[in-house]
Amino acid sequence: MVKIYNTLTQQKEELRPLEAGKVKLYVCGITVYDYCHLGHARMLVAFDVVVRYLRFRGYDVTYIRNITDVDDKILARAIENNEAFTDVTDRYIAAMHEDEAALSILHPDQEPRATAHIEEMVSMIERLIDTDHAYRAENGDVYYAVTRFPDYGKLSKKKLDELLDGARIEVGELKRDPRDFVLWKSASDNAVGWDSPWGYGRPGWHIECSAMATCALGNTFDIHGGGSDLMFPHHENEIAQSEAATGETFAKLWMHNGPLRIDDEKMSKSLDNFFTVREVLQHHKAEVVRNLLISSHYRSPINYSEQSLVQSAKALERFYHCLKDLDIRNAKSLTNSRFEKAFVAAMDDDFNTPEAFSVMFEMVSEINRIKVTDQDLANQLGALLVRLGGSMGILQAEPAAFLQASVGAEIDSAEIDRLVAARDQARADKDWGKADEIRDQLTALNVVVEDGAAGSTWRIEA
RNA sequence: GGCUGGAUGGCAGAGUGGUUAUGCAGCGGACUGCAACUCCGUUAACGCCGGUUCGAUUCCGACUCCAGCCUCCA
């Protein structure tokens, strides 16, 4: 029984899909005007774990994550670079797919783009105008009349009159109410845009998700997710638009992942602490980054720092060290063990990855303890460990490959093998001085040698 | 100012009305030529003040501090 924290009700709820065994999930994706940053990665990984785990639990998940491929920032970037806005979006969509692949993020089942759903947006806006939830301003803009939706604020727990205090009144205001938000922006004929009943223009940001989500999943679906910073106004507005247009509940359950911080500061361009995924992956193993992103609960803030990366790397080293001597491939995963039950209980409880990790580390201890005396059981436990790790998208690499991989510096593994063999010979000759000298050379290369019963192995020190 | 969430051992980070989270680090021991890896043992915590209770880190209330959102934002 999977329980998920619902932002709407502010409590954990049992997952009861509309259709038994099937989960329909919509997540707000990325606006593609630049490379993905670590905050994006956090969101992508958080929902990747949701999808992987629900599938692990036997659910048939339909995962939709949109791409915002038209908006002011994209258009500004296109002008800046003197290129077509589609050149900008094509480039960053391709880059996003590369980043996702590197971080072992599964493809959504559909990746709808805003520009491919203008028609649906227009017809939704028409319905909103017909029902007096929206109005056309003099210049062709269309606004949503927030006061016409009594439930406005139910997701972010804001009261309409409280919003008035903070609302910014813009110069040349065309809105009837400062809290209203734009559904359709009029545009000059030479700008990017589409024809509409209200004139040439382009859609507002919020309407695209309402249109694409209902188009792909129906008026009502199971889970809607996104970053916590999207809760207001984006998700609040999605609810207002969709529920006013369809008269039905939009998403039953809302999930929000917590923010990513950099060295204990909010990540922002002004602080110049903005890391892109590809920058980070030049210096760190993708799995280490991914593991860092799931080592805290998805709703908590995560701090990204050199220290937290080292911790993540060490945790993975412990796993892979344990798996290294096992024969996983020919082992059958243990079923129904107390470990699996504890793991499932942890993950069923709102995807509690830290608690799941504690179970997995207990498995590591157990495997290390018995691996000499009961190789068979150790292999089975190892297979289980890999299977459980798979439900979170980790531990799928070859242990030796993980341990000997290095990022950034080129490693000459043949040379290392030669040094290790030479040291082994020196040890066989009981020439400790020479053996230690070679080890010093290896240490200088960031290589740690480990002498085992079956000979010496090496790994790259994180 | 409003709303939401948080304050746990040296660090990271779960959880629980009474019993070891877990990882890293520390300490003692085993293993090792010495290490590394691993194992065994071990130290150490629940912001502050009240209340409920036989008993609270865990429930309730006040307080202090922190973060996020209220503007584009994953």
Would you place residue A168 in the very low, low, confident or very high pLDDT band (cuts 50, 70, 90)?
low
CA distance A393 to A353: 12
CA distance A457 to A224: 47
Q: Is A260 helix (H, G, I), strand (E, B) or coil?
A: strand
CATH of the domain at A185: 3.40.50.620
- The answer to whether residues A388 and A245 belong to one domain is no
Provide, in whole angstroms, the distance separating residue A451's CA from nucleotide B35's C1': 9
Provide, in whole angstroms, the distance separating residue A362's CA from nucleotide B26's C1': 21
pLDDT of residue A453: 81
Q: Which nucleotides of B are covered by protein (CB under 7 A)?
A: 1-5, 11-15, 21-25, 32-40, 67-74
pLDDT of residue A203: 97
Measured from Cα to the C1' atom, the residue closest to B24 is A311
Nucleotide nearest to A312 (CA to C1'): B23
- The answer to whether residues A155 and A229 belong to one domain is yes
C-alpha dihedral, A359 to A361 to A365 to A368, nearest 10°: 120
CA distance A462 to A457: 16
Contact A446, A460 (CB under 8 A): yes
Closest by alpha carbon to A43, among A260, A209, A194? A260
For helices A306-324 and A286-294, angle between their N-to-C axes, nearest 10 degrees: 110
pLDDT of residue A250: 98
Beta bridge partner(s), residue A135: A143
Measured from Cα to the C1' atom, the residue closest to B22 is A358
- The answer to whether residues A174 and A44 belong to one domain is yes
Count how many Cα atoms sit within 13 Å of the Cα of residue A309 in the half-sphere of its side chain. Answer: 15
- The answer to whether residues A228 and A125 belong to one domain is yes
pLDDT tens, position by position, A307-318:
999 999 999 999
Provide, in whole angstroms, the distance separating residue A388's CA from nucleotide B5's C1': 30
pLDDT of residue A261: 93
Nucleotide nearest to A42 (CA to C1'): B74
pLDDT tens, position by position, A117-133:
999 999 999 999 999 99
Cβ neighbour number for residue A97 with a 10 Å cutoff: 14
- The answer to whether residues A346 and A223 belong to one domain is no
Provide, in whole angstroms, the distance separating residue A280's CA from nucleotide B71's C1': 29
How is residue A65 written in tokens?
């994550």
Q: What are phi and psi of A13, to 5 degrees?
A: -130, 150
Nucleotide nearest to A439 (CA to C1'): B35
Phi-psi region of A184 (alpha: psi -120 to 50; beta: other; left: phi over 0): beta
Measured from Cα to the C1' atom, the residue closest to B37 is A450
Residue type, A396: Q
CA distance A145 to A176: 8
Measured in residues, chain A has a length of 462
Residue type, A324: K
> At which of A257, A272, A296 does a domain end?
A257
pLDDT tens, position by position, A295-339:
999 999 999 999 999 999 999 999 999 999 999 999 999 988 999
- The answer to whether residues A10 and A90 belong to one domain is yes
Would you place residue A183 in the very low, low, confident or very high pLDDT band (cuts 50, 70, 90)?
very high
Provide, in whole angstroms, the distance separating residue A342's CA from nucleotide B18's C1': 23
Q: How many structural domains comprise chain A? A: 3
Give the global pTM.
Answer: 0.96
Beta bridge partner(s), residue A251: A221
Nucleotide nearest to A296 (CA to C1'): B13
CA-CA-CA-CA torsion sign (A165, A171, A174, A180): negative
pLDDT of residue A375: 94
ipTM for the complex shown: 0.96
> At which of A211, A231, A257 does a domain end?
A257
- The answer to whether residues A159 and A292 belong to one domain is no
- The answer to whether residues A270 and A123 belong to one domain is no
> At which of A402, A425, A448 does a domain end?
A402
CA distance A48 to A394: 11
Provide, in whole angstroms, the distance separating residue A46's CA from nucleotide B22's C1': 20
Contact A202, A171 (CB under 8 A): no
> Mean pLDDT across chain A, nearest whole number?
94
Nucleotide nearest to A461 (CA to C1'): B36
pLDDT tens, position by position, A356-366:
999 999 999 99
Provide, in whole angstroms, the distance separating residue A119's CA from nucleotide B12's C1': 49
Count how many Cα atoms sit within 13 Å of the Cα of residue A385 in the half-sphere of its side chain. Answer: 33
Boundaries of domain holding A378: 261-402
CA distance A391 to A386: 9
Closest by alpha carbon to A134, among A85, A70, A206, A65? A206
CA distance A283 to A117: 39
Contact A402, A104 (CB under 8 A): no
pLDDT of residue A106: 98
Contact A62, A22 (CB under 8 A): yes
Closest by alpha carbon to A232, among A171, A166, A294, A276? A166
Q: Is A459 helix (H, G, I), strand (E, B) or coil?
A: strand
- The answer to whether residues A277 and A423 belong to one domain is no
Q: Edge-to-edge strand order for the sheet containing A181-186?
A: A134-136, A142-144, A181-186, A201-203
pLDDT over 80 at A157, yes or no = yes
CATH of the domain at A343: 1.20.120.640
Provide, in whole angstroms, the distance separating residue A83's CA from nucleotide B62's C1': 60
N- to C-terminal Cα separation, chain A: 38
Q: Is A166 helix (H, G, I), strand (E, B) or coil?
A: helix
- The answer to whether residues A216 and A283 belong to one domain is no
CA distance A192 to A101: 31
- The answer to whether residues A300 and A349 belong to one domain is yes
pLDDT of residue A73: 94
Closest by alpha carbon to A353, among A288, A284, A308, A299? A299
- The answer to whether residues A337 and A354 belong to one domain is yes
